[in-house]
Chains A and B, each alone.
Chain A
Amino acid sequence: MSVERLAERLRGRHPDMVLARGEATIAVDRSELLDVLRGLREDEPVALDFLSSVTATDWPGRAPRYWVVYELLSMAHRHRLRVKVGLPEGDERIASVTSLFPTANWHEREVFDLFGIVFEGHPDLRRIMLPEGWDGHPLRKTEELGGVDTPYRGAFIPPVDKRVR
């Protein structure tokens, strides 16, 4: 199904669907996420049954601050859909989709590790990239880059955004 036909079909249920640059995106409330994903998978002509990727973006100063982004693919029809869920600052919790898509396990661990978003119901929510005991979540925009200390007369190489350009 072309992305236009997919958009047409889903627009009734998701009136705020965005169709840009050949990609369809819907925004979903976090309380509905599991039901929506299950519906998209079980609706035969849509059949979005493959979860490609889970990631997030951080927009400090905006509401909602975080967007969790799910990239879905239909193996039968070869179309894709992006599902986004907004999360407010200070309450970064969302339901885990590992019960629907086992592959979400590591993707959600990565988002938890790098963004500090908690996936409720995840079977094994631990850091995956960074060592246990690491302080902070580096892909948040509020996390600053560190510089590099050098042995040369106490010289310090500042992080890239603090260098004189």
Chain B
Amino acid sequence: MNEPVSRIGVGSLDPSAAADLREETMVINMGPQHPSTHGVLRLLLELDGETVISCRPIVGYLHTGIEKNVEYRTWQQGVTYVTRADYLAPFFNELAYSLAAERLLGIEAPPRATVIRVLLCELNRVASHFVWLATGGMELGAVSVMLYGFRERELILDIFEAVTGLRMNHAFIRIGGLPMDLPEAAEERIRDLIGTLRGRIGEYQALLSDNPIWLERNRRVGVLSAEDALAWGVTGPLLRAAGVPKDIRKDEPYCGYETYDFDVPTRTESDCYARYQVRIEEMYESLRIVEQCLDRLEPGPVMVEDPKVRWPSQLEVGPDGIGNSPAYVKHIMEESMEALIHHFKILTQGVEVPEGEIYQVVEAPRGELGLYVVSDGTNIPYRVHMRDPSFANLQSLPRMIEGGLIADAIAVIASVDPVLGGVDR
């Protein structure tokens, strides 16, 4: 890999002393509280001058026991836990969990709900890539990119807030569909936003793609061959930047992705710059899918009709952001005893899911998100395991960092784009 460029003072010293110096390596701790490690990642680096000899990633600082917690809640409550794993891609966590539960139940969300799910997920992918661009740019000294990236992400989060009531951790994709429909004028807002975002992404390309510093810091840095990537279980943009066109949306379509028109961008250089190009192009492709979603939105229900599955409460967005529909509250509180009993039965006991196991995969912004969901036939999930893409991708970090310069390690971490909430769960 790269030749070390600086050995301070080696030339001016007595040659024998220099030889001694060379043998000495330094072990430094980077993280778990370090601005460049994207959260609470800790790296144990062994350095020879500026060259990294060995790198050992240490994770677990954000372990919150999500998988254990889910085993103590009803199936519907599980959504609110899994969404908190990879907190930059909450819709993908919710989608994988809901699809798994729906397959166990043998139900399918109504068409309108499926289209809205795809729409929200693709907007979420763009928002997640904005954070990658922002943090990655900042770490290489492009602080303006950091401000732009977070500014544009906020535009998408505003849409999420209008739709779900929350900027993150929405718990909006539920078993059987969605709790409520899109708010008024959401479609026009999203359509306007697509135009804005396309222009802004173009601006970043103009700013970065031919920028000499950006090229110098990213090209031929952190190379990971396709063979190594597959051996280490790497998926997502990292794998596509190594020339492997693996995208679950194409290979094992879910939510009707086979009916959408989009391309899977790939590169063969498999360096940080190739990952930059792949992610930027993916943002354009996601916006293309969002546009198609808007075109095919037909009026209809967003939750399955089956009263044994559907969440009984009806919500509508009030001035405070989220709330119960007054008409529905009146119905259960004043008009129908049966409706009240049913409401509380479903809310407190939930739905019983038939025995079985499912491995549901979705293409998250960072790669293959797989949920292994096991039911023992009760109203509580028996086991939910999240195969988070960051967890697997992070293992390949030493392959990319060792032998390179410590400054390049920063660029490599940024290009892997790990989210420790997903790694540690």
Binding site for B on A (CB under 8 A): 20-21, 23, 25, 49-53, 55, 57-58, 69, 71, 75, 78, 80, 82, 101-103, 105-107, 114, 127-131, 138-139, 141, 145, 159-161, 165
Contacts and interface: CB of A to CB of B under 8 A. Distances in A.
6 contacts: A21-B104, A25-B357, A69-B372, A71-B372, A101-B233, A145-B72
Contact of A102 (B231, B391, B394): B231
Contact of B385 (A55, A80, A161): A55
Given A106-B391, A129-B60, A57 B383 contact: yes
A1 B425 CA distance: 34
B153 to A, nearest CB: 29
A18 B287 CA distance: 40
For the complex of A and B, the 5 pairs showing the least CB-CB separation, nearest first, are A103-B233, A53-B387, A55-B385, A129-B63, A129-B60
Contacts of A114: 67
B103 interface: yes
B233 A52 contact: yes
B107 interface: no
A57 B68 contact: no
Contacts of B265: none
B233 A78 contact: no
Contacts of B392: 103, 106-107
B321 interface: no
Interface in B57-89: 59-60, 63, 65, 67-69, 71-73
A102 B359 CA distance: 21
Given A57-B383, A71-B359, A52 B68 contact: no
Given A53-B359, A82-B359, A145-B72, A139 B67 contact: yes
Given A55-B372, A102-B232, 11 more contacts: A52-B359, A53-B385, A102-B395, A103-B231, A129-B59, A130-B60, A131-B60, A138-B65, A138-B68, A159-B72, A161-B72
B320 interface: no
B370 A57 contact: no
A141 B232 CA distance: 30
A165 B348 contact: yes
Interface string B339-380: 000000000100000001111010000001010101000000
A82 to B, nearest CB: 6
B5 to A, nearest CB: 31
B251 interface: yes
B67 A50 contact: no
Contacts of A141: 71
A50 B65 contact: no
Interface in B214-255: 230-233, 244, 246, 251-252
A20 B425 CA distance: 28
A101 B72 contact: no
Contacts of B232: 102-103
B132 interface: no
Given A75-B230, A128-B60, A20 B359 contact: no
B61 to A, nearest CB: 9
A50 B230 CA distance: 7
B382 interface: yes
Nearest to A57: B383
A80 B387 CA distance: 15
Contacts of A82: 357, 359
B294 to A, nearest CB: 30
A165 B72 CA distance: 13
Contacts of A106: 391-392, 394-395
B424 interface: yes
Interface in B102-131: 103-104
Which of B68, B72, B244 has the most CB atoms of chain A within a 10 A radius of its CB?
A: B68
Contacts of A160: 69, 72-73
Given A101-B231, A130-B63, A53 B370 contact: yes
Nearest to A102: B231
Contacts of A138: 65, 68
Contacts of B233: 50-52, 101, 103
Contact of B230 (A49, A129, A131): A49
A78 B251 contact: yes
B275 to A, nearest CB: 19
